[in-house]
Structure 1
Amino acid sequence: MTEASLDQLSPAELAALLSFYADAGVAWMVEDEPVDRIAEFEAQKAAHEARRKAPSAGPTGDGQPSAAPTRGAQAPARPATNAAPAMAIPDEHAVTEARFAAESARSLDELKTALEGFAGCNLKTSARSTIFASGDPTGGIMVIGGMPSGDDDRDGQAFAGRAGMLLDRMLSAIGLDRSGLLLTTIVPWRPPGDRPPTPIEAAICRPFIQRQIELAEPKHLLLLGNFTARFFFQGQETIHLLRGQWREIACDNHTVPGLACLHPLELLAAPAGKALAWQDLQDFRRRIDGKI
């Protein structure tokens, strides 16, 4: 897209274009100004050819030293001395720092502040928002997803956009409302391009989600999606094998029963799964009511 065409876009159109780039996984701009890499390559190739054809600095065939390169000759490119340092890769030290930060929090507000100030996970560098638990922590019910979607990242809260609207309808069908629940995600930052978090990224985020559960002290957990079920159930089975199962989730001093269910995003992609999700939601309602 040319500069002239960008000038013709309205603010709303520019915002939509930026949202498209974010959804496509564009994390940051590499340069402040556009660079013509093709022209840069051609210049480097020409310089290389000039150096290859230039006479060597040793003695010539008649015993005289060769002439020094003329002032106008192009010198070899120098390596950059102020190149940006490579991004740190999360390791066991980051896990330890995350655990310390989470355990130091004595309330959900303190934990949110600690999470927003934590810089040990590289997912944070490419995300717009840090997603933390929102809603009513006194309702006794916590709904947990795997990682923020593009809508979540833009809105700054879990279960936004189409997936959030579908979740609202799912909860309403069993007499629940998000205003009376606590909603959050395991990973607080959207991975670039919506890729799955790596094992070390998940390990870094584990202390924060466990501390959220411990501080909120819910009586029931609704665990949505494949990544969430595997994360808490400690297995490699798919959500279609784990859904409908109740497991005791231990988070330090707090243990709470959790039910695995299909994620709204999975239901949007495969609507046939709504019948299975409805069965799970009915079981969740019966457990809340003390009927199972």
Structure 2
Amino acid sequence: MRDIVALLRWHIDVGADEAISDSPTDWTKVAPRVAQPSPASAQPSPQGRNVPAKAGGGAAAQPRRPGPAQPALLGTPAAGATARTMAAEAHTLEDLRAAMAAFDGCALKATATNLVFADGNPKARLMLIGEAPGEDEDRQGLPFVGKSGKLLDMMLKCIGLDRDSVYITNILPWRPPGNRKPNPNEIQACLPFVERHIELIAPEGLMLLGGTSASALLDRSEGIMRLRGRWLEFSPTPMAAPIPVLPTYHPAFLLRQPAMKRDSWRDLVAFKKKFLTP
């Protein structure tokens, strides 16, 4: 029984946590894919240029016409540029959500169940940004609804806040398989949407939950243990006024390291003192 439990836990750790068929596939019995024949070799022309080889002594094959332009490869800088264009054209939160749903430049979209956009009050003065959805968030399409979300609710309650008085989103709108850490390409592909999200909400203050959101938005190389508790600034556009930012630990990290809750409490008190104290 222990071996079975360990095997199931290993499958979850590597991302195989969803059943997509009623019966398993024995990949050892699947016939190998037949290799496609290679194109005919080219023959040198008298002018020294290569021309397609003739088939059966007939006329030379006509050159292949170029097909339609292919979309930008997933996670490449071109995908980030596409995201920036789509985000700039979004003038409302509904527009932004639709643009993110139509964006195909991040491979996580293909493995996620739902787009996780945001939760809370769009007119709130304060905005919280996490890392990426987990399993519960992916199923429900809302950020911070699992165990870490319950802890976040308790943290907010301690300083007189709740989900009706803040606005919550993530750096990534799709869940990485197995809840792994997002890679730099995935972050860069989705970052323009986050920046536009902040611009549309226009909060008075930002709290960044975890090292991924802090390093992505602040463009800092320090880890969260060095960044937490320090007041920094972020501007969604070069012309926008800077927004005060306080990085702190992600609730999921606090569940694994309860001793760090003391530092998070200090951050919460500082956040309350700056924005909630008359």
Q: Is TM more than 0.5 here?
A: yes
Q: Give TM-score scaled by structure 2 length.
A: 0.76
- Give the number of the structure whose alpha-carbon radius of gyration is greater: 1
SS in 2 for 1:179: coil
Answer yes or no: is 1:162 the counterpart of 2:137: no
1:257 corresponds in structure 2 to 244
Residue deviations 1:192-224 (CA, integer Å, cap 9, x gap): 122222212111111000000000000010111
1:99 corresponds in structure 2 to 84
2:15 corresponds in structure 1 to 25
2:50 corresponds in structure 1 to none
Identity among equivalent pairs (%): 38
2:275 corresponds in structure 1 to 288
1:36 corresponds in structure 2 to 26
Is 1:27–1:127's contact at 8 Å kept on the other side of the alignment? no
1:79 corresponds in structure 2 to 35
Q: Distance in 1 between matches of 2:230 and 2:173?
A: 25
1:211 corresponds in structure 2 to 196
Q: Where do 4+ consecutive residues of structure 1 move more than 3 Å?
A: 20-24, 27-41
Q: 1:28 to 1:266 in 2, by over 3 A?
A: closer
Q: Distance in 1 between matches of 2:17 and 2:128?
A: 28
1:108 corresponds in structure 2 to 93
Structure 2: tracts of 5 or more residues without a match:
1-9, 38-71
How is 1:180-259 mapped onto 2 (pairs within 5 angstroms)? 180-252=165-237, 253-259=240-246
Q: Distance in 1 between matches of 2:122 and 2:13?
A: 31
Q: Distance in 2 between matches of 1:138 and 1:97?
A: 28
Q: Distance in 2 between matches of 1:151 and 1:29?
A: 16
Is 2:74–2:104's contact at 8 Å kept on the other side of the alignment? no
**How many residue pairs align between the two structures?**
233
Q: Distance in 2 between matches of 1:244 and 1:103?
A: 32
Code of the residue aligned with 1:287 in structure 2: it is K
Code of the residue aligned with 1:26 in structure 2: it is A
**Offset, 1:236:** 2.0
Q: Distance in 2 between matches of 1:147 and 1:88?
A: 22
SS in 1 for 2:272: helix
Code of the residue aligned with 2:178 in structure 1: it is G
SS in 1 for 2:235: strand
**Offset, 1:131:** 1.2
**Offset, 1:130:** 1.0
**Offset, 1:132:** 1.0
Is 2:172–2:187's contact at 8 Å kept on the other side of the alignment? yes
Q: Distance in 2 between matches of 1:34 and 1:264?
A: 36
Q: Distance in 2 between matches of 1:111 and 1:22?
A: 32
SS in 2 for 1:178: coil
Structure 1: tracts of 5 or more residues without a match:
1-19, 45-76, 82-86
1:274 corresponds in structure 2 to 261
Code of the residue aligned with 1:265 in structure 2: it is A
SS in 1 for 2:98: helix
Q: Give TM-score scaled by structure 1 length.
A: 0.73
Q: Distance in 1 between matches of 2:137 and 2:12?
A: 12
Q: Distance in 1 between matches of 2:227 and 2:94?
A: 32
**Offset, 1:109:** 1.1
